[in-house]
Amino acid sequence: MKKFVNNMLVAAMIATGIAWGGVVSAQTDLDAIMMNKNQFCQGITYDYSSWDHYWEGTFKRDNANLGTVSTQALMYMPNYGITNNLNVMASVPYVWTKATQGTLHGVNGLQDFSVFVKWRPLVFSSGKNKFSLFAIGGFSMVLWGIALKTVIGWHFTWLVNSATHLWGSRRFDTRDDSRNNGLIAAVTFGEGWHNNHHAHPRSARHGLAWYEFDINWIQIRLLEKVGLVSNVYAYSEKAERAELTPIQEAA
């Protein structure tokens, strides 16, 4: 039933597609239909499904603890032909879920904003036969914009405390095994100058030499310039030497 409803809705979406330029035509992210250049098409789909039993092997069980679980989705999908062979489309679904019994409670909201690109790289025909090749790809914001982005962010952060204690060079003879690693610094905006950080943990500046690029330090300097942060301490070898000299002389 759900499949049938879905198919009907896709058909309804295609039927309601409105194209500029006098031609009525439509497409989805999964088919091989192309919009012509500068044609725009939009559609709305509505999807409803519910279930109150499930199969456990050959046993048909009732959802005693969930009741009837239902999902509704209303989706807006605009498509645009950048060229005759390159289309871009997006989909924004709003989803409601509900369970009639038990402790599961429904949620609703915008889900999985997606962008798709469809490209037709190859068409040739011989006689009645026509051959065309399509490439269809896309990404959803929930995966690429939230989940994957967060995981990559975590791993880059953790690299600072793992990899920079294994590989790299040591400017300061600290009591730990911290190291300066340019590769890690490049993906962590300067945090990879970790031996400098361990030697001078209070310093907001990690990159000390001109070649130790430290974007975080540049940002902190900018914030200081516009007055959003103050009393920033930054270690400087020159200043430190100047400070130490009189003491050494006295000693």
Which stretches of the chain bind Zn ion, using CB under 5 A?
178
* Burial class for 188, CB neighbours closer than 10 Å (0-12, 13-18, 19+): buried
Between 62 and 177, CB nearer to Zn ion:
177
Between 42 and 174, CB nearer to Zn ion:
174
CB of 238 to Zn ion, least distance (A): 25
Between 183 and 239, CB nearer to Zn ion:
183
Between 178 and 188, CB nearer to Zn ion:
178
CB of 199 to Zn ion, least distance (A): 11
CB of 202 to Zn ion, least distance (A): 14
| Amino acid at position 39, single letter | Q
Between 37 and 171, CB nearer to Zn ion:
171
CB of 176 to Zn ion, least distance (A): 7
CA angle 10, 16, 18 (to 5 degrees): 125
* Cβ(159)–Cβ(188) below 8 Å: yes
Checking 228-237 for CB contacts under 8 A at 24+ apart, the result is 232/204, 233/202, 233/203, 233/204, 234/203, 234/204, 234/205, 235/196, 235/199, 235/200, 235/202, 235/203, 235/205, 235/208, 236/205, 236/208, 237/208
Q: What is the CA radius of gyration of the chain?
A: 30
CB of 156 to Zn ion, least distance (A): 15
